[in-house]
A and B are shown apart, each in its own frame.
Chain A
Amino acid sequence: MYSTQIPVKIVRSWPWIAIIASILVIAFTPLPLKASQPVARTVRVEARSFEFSPSVIHVEQGQQVTIELIATDVVHGIYVDGYGHEIIANPGQTATLTFIADKSGSFRLRCSVTCGALHPFMIGKLNVGVNLLFYRAIGLSVLAGLAGFMLFRPRNEQ
């Protein structure tokens, strides 16, 4: 009634070529982003157990970003995923981190100093420019869904 093998003839048909081509396109096209003028940007981030505020920071790609970390209860830190930068702040002693946000995407900010039970889940986000990866991921998964939808369509053959 339906086939679980992947007969060669299906793969040959045009929708498959289209899907595979789109997968490649979505996954690998280098999209040239407009090189924005790197204007310096300073963000004041307050840390308390177990959150950063603001918890999500948006910056432009290529911008020089300064994070001022203010610990409001106990010692906290920030580790920036993807960039690997780290700073630690004591209450009363603001720590600053300056770097060029040259990679675009969404990067988690993690507290880097054990600050109580939920410390491993004290997480914020640094969003730099356009999160291409996210859009690629949506495109890819929708295509994969489409592929599943087509590959396993009921067939009338016996």
Chain B
Amino acid sequence: MGLILGLFATVVGARWLDRHKVIEIHARMPENGGWTPADLSVKVGQPLRLRLVSDDVTHGFAVGQTAWEALDLYPGKPVETTLIFDRPGKYVFYCTRWCGINHWRMRGVIEVYGDASTMQNSDTTTPESPLYRRLAIDLDAPHDAFVIPESQPIARKNIALNVRLPAKYLLRDYYLATAPSSAWQSLREEPSLASLSDQQIWHLVASLWRRQTSQNELKEGEKLYRTNCAACHGETGAGDGVMARWLAASAATEAPDAEHSQPSNQHTPGETVIIGHSTVVPTDFTNPHTMLGASPALLQGKIIRGGMGTGMPYWGPIFTEEQTWALVAYLWTFQFDYSQVETNE
């Protein structure tokens, strides 16, 4: 018995010493604490050694705005990793595998501080503010399309060659700042396109939108959508994902009743699960009325800023600029049929 206790003391001692080098982070469902600890700090260029372990269900670990591969954290199976940051700043680490309605709240911060020289560097490299701010788009204003197509617009390759199109429609900046219904309106007013039917103009809009992306970007967008968005917005984009029921439920009742406040059996009884006070049903991307009235910049803005209490997470600290644009490009596939382009691209 003494032997066992002695052995145990050594083991615990060794672990305690080890802790000084390795930071152990426990992952739990957000209702039960999320990441512990959730605040880390490290110097630029210094290795941050982490031992990550899940205490309940499958989680994942990734650091926002970086290229590091996400690590899967299976319950009770510790994973070790070492991170070295080469730029100072506040990095957000987050859970990458859905672990309940509050999954997206499972985030932590790594404060990377530099010495004097790198500090100065960082000041000069402040990222520019997102496009929606520069364009002064009000993300919360209604953005209904004033016109919608009869049927799903189909993008065709080389469509611009068949019609004489003013060059401005092909510009990236035009696409970013324009809602499809506005684009349709402008194109309709173009005298050179007078011979086209309304629906053909819609096909033209779809083709222009398709020109602004690539097969690869769409793939990337689809991947991001499936892992991060589909649980709420639905695999078909219809806003009917598996988590939508909780958002709808809490939207319907201001003070969620006992059943609604307990979306899982995981937490200890008596605890309340915060879903959000004014959550709304997730946006239906297949609805042309709202989608065709939104510009890519507006959609990107919503992704970056989040829904401010509606249950929509803010992805700003997580996704890179490219990732947000890939996601926006993918969202248009719920409105436009890109399949004809893809087959012969």
Q: Is the CB of A74 within 8 A of B98?
A: yes
B66 in contact (CB, < 8 A): no
What 6 A-B pairs come out closest when comparing CB atoms?
A: A92-B231, A92-B230, A91-B98, A75-B58, A74-B57, A114-B75
**CB-nearest residue of chain A to B233:** A92
A7 in contact (CB, < 8 A): no
Q: Is the CB of A49 within 8 A of B265?
A: yes
Q: Is the CB of B57 within 8 A of A92?
A: no
CB-CB < 8 A to A50: which residues of B? 265
A48 in contact (CB, < 8 A): yes
Q: Is the CB of A91 within 8 A of B243?
A: yes
B84 to chain A, nearest CB (A): 30
B29 in contact (CB, < 8 A): yes
Q: Is the CB of B235 within 8 A of A92?
A: yes
Interface SS, B side? loop
A115 in contact (CB, < 8 A): yes
Using a CB-CB cutoff of 8 Å, which residues 82-98 of chain A contact chain B?
A: 90-94
Which one of A46, A114, A118 lies within 8 Å of B74 (CB-CB)?
A114
Q: Is the CB of B75 within 8 A of A94?
A: no
CB-CB < 8 A to B232: which residues of A? 92
Q: Is the CB of A90 within 8 A of B265?
A: no
Which one of A73, A74, A93, A113 lies within 8 Å of B230 (CB-CB)?
A93
A116 in contact (CB, < 8 A): yes
Interfacial residues, chain B to chain A (CB-CB below 8 A) = 29, 56-58, 74-76, 97-101, 103, 226-227, 229-232, 235, 241-243, 263-266
Q: Is the CB of B29 within 8 A of A74?
A: yes
**CB-nearest residue of chain B to A72:** B242
CB-CB < 8 A to A71: which residues of B? 98, 242
Q: Is the CB of B58 within 8 A of A113?
A: yes
Residue among A71, A73, A94 with the highest chain B CB neighbour number at 10 A:
A73
A101 in contact (CB, < 8 A): no
Q: Is the CB of B235 within 8 A of A93?
A: yes
Q: Is the CB of A118 within 8 A of B229?
A: no
A70 in contact (CB, < 8 A): yes
Which one of A46, A91, A116 lies within 8 Å of B265 (CB-CB)?
A116
CA A4 to CA B263, docked complex, whole Å: 60
CA A32 to CA B230, docked complex, whole Å: 47
Which one of B29, B74, B98, B100 lies within 8 Å of A92 (CB-CB)?
B98
Q: Is the CB of B58 within 8 A of A114?
A: yes
CB-CB < 8 A to A75: which residues of B? 57-58, 97-99
Q: Is the CB of B100 within 8 A of A74?
A: yes
Residue among B75, B229, B232 with the highest chain A CB neighbour number at 10 A:
B75
Q: Is the CB of B266 within 8 A of A116?
A: yes
Q: Is the CB of B235 within 8 A of A94?
A: yes
CB-CB < 8 A to A72: which residues of B? 242-243
User: Known contacts A91-B231, A92-B229: does B98 contact A48 (CB below 8 Å)?
Assistant: no
CA A58 to CA B272, docked complex, whole Å: 37
Q: Is the CB of A93 within 8 A of B226?
A: yes
Q: Is the CB of B98 within 8 A of A90?
A: yes
CB-CB < 8 A to A90: which residues of B? 97-98, 227, 231
CA A74 to CA B243, docked complex, whole Å: 10
User: Known contacts A91-B242, A91-B243, A92-B231: does B264 contact A48 (CB below 8 Å)?
Assistant: yes
Q: Is the CB of A118 within 8 A of B265?
A: yes
- Would you give 17 A-B contacts (Cβ < 8 Å), ordered by A? A49-B264, A49-B265, A73-B100, A73-B264, A74-B98, A74-B99, A90-B227, A91-B241, A92-B226, A92-B227, A93-B235, A114-B58, A114-B74, A115-B58, A116-B264, A116-B265, A116-B266
CB-CB < 8 A to B235: which residues of A? 92-94
Residue among B57, B103, B243, B263 with the highest chain A CB neighbour number at 10 A:
B57
CB-CB < 8 A to A49: which residues of B? 57, 264-266
Q: Is the CB of B227 within 8 A of A93?
A: yes
CB-CB < 8 A to A46: which residues of B? 242
Q: Is the CB of A70 within 8 A of B76?
A: no
Using a CB-CB cutoff of 8 Å, which residues 57-83 of chain A contact chain B?
A: 70-75
**CB-nearest residue of chain B to A75:** B58
Which one of A70, A93, A94, A114 lies within 8 Å of B57 (CB-CB)?
A114
CA A93 to CA B264, docked complex, whole Å: 19
**CB-nearest residue of chain A to B29:** A74
